[in-house]
Amino acid sequence: MPAPKNPFKAALRENRFQLGLWVALASPYAAEVVSGSGYDWLLIDGEHAPNDIPLLAAQFRAVASSTSHPMVRLPVGDTVLIKQILDTGVQTLLIPMVESAAQAEQLVRATRYPPHGVRGVGAALGRASQFGRIGDYLHTANDEICLILQIESKAGLAAIDEIAALDGVDGLFIGPSDLAADMGFLGQPGHPQVRDAIADAFVRIARAGKARGIMTLDLDQARDYRDMGADFMAIGTDVTALVRATTMLRQAFVGEATQTPKKNESGY
């Protein structure tokens, strides 16, 4: 029996746009609630949300039984963390702050078994192989891993062509908020110079034949990014959706002038 098929990776290969949402409440129960909302993929965040490997794994399991594909963002591209999260069954990873081809190559190798990489061979202990019940897991797992690398600095932009050229990199994800900060426009991910940089990055990523991803809380920006050619995109977070909905519900009941809470443009 081979490793389970990765529907998100298949969709990217078939040029089917994938719509997603950030999951950052660090709660398996909340993740399960969100997973019924109809998004193609959900990003379980280990960088800015208070998560560790067991909690990420629990949220992954909560989402995995739904029609939404669970993706995990680790806090850093560490080989040990990658090994641990892959053994829990995660097949799609987003790694933040990638700035060079050498770093990207190390990340590719961390997700592959030898001789193509350095992933530790302990699948029989993990959920990924159904605890050893998937007999051909070791020989088929590499093909179903989807590695997305996050570009969110001027150094990352400069290295896009080399990063995107690497086999094993399935997509590049632009982080507008951190990119804006690094460009001198802190809190202004929609700044025209940031937009121009993203548009140029999208062209270069597409030229390499890789998928283009991005995240925004602004639906007008989201439509703009889609028009630019985004192949997969997140349009919100569970945290901001909860803040907005609960605030507006209270305002509606007490008769306050209803205002949508101020748009949060901070770092994703």
Q: Please provide residue 91's backbone torsions phi and psi, each rounded to the nearest 5 degrees.
A: -115, -15
CA angle 188, 184, 21 (to 5 degrees): 40
Q: Are 94 and 86 in contact (CB under 8 A)?
A: no
* Half-sphere exposure (Cβ direction) of 98: Cα atoms closer than 13 Å: 32
Query: Containing H/E element for 182?
Result: helix 176-182
Q: Please provide residue 187's backbone torsions phi and psi, each rounded to the nearest 5 degrees.
A: 75, 10
Return d(Cα 191, Cα 255) in angstroms, integer: 35
Out of 48, 69, 139, 191, the active site residue is 48
Tell me the β-bridge partners of 174: 151, 214
Residue 48 a catalytic site member: yes
Q: For the chain, what is the total number of helices (H) and then of strands (E)?
A: 12, 8
Alpha carbon of residue 205 to chain centroid: 16
Q: What are the Cα distances from residue 216, in Å, to 109, 167, 236?
A: 30, 28, 6
Q: Give the β-pairing of 211-215 and 69-73.
A: unpaired
Residue indicated by tokens 């990207």: 104
Q: Are 205 and 164 in contact (CB under 8 A)?
A: yes
Residue indicated by tokens 């809380």: 217
* Active site residue ranges: 48
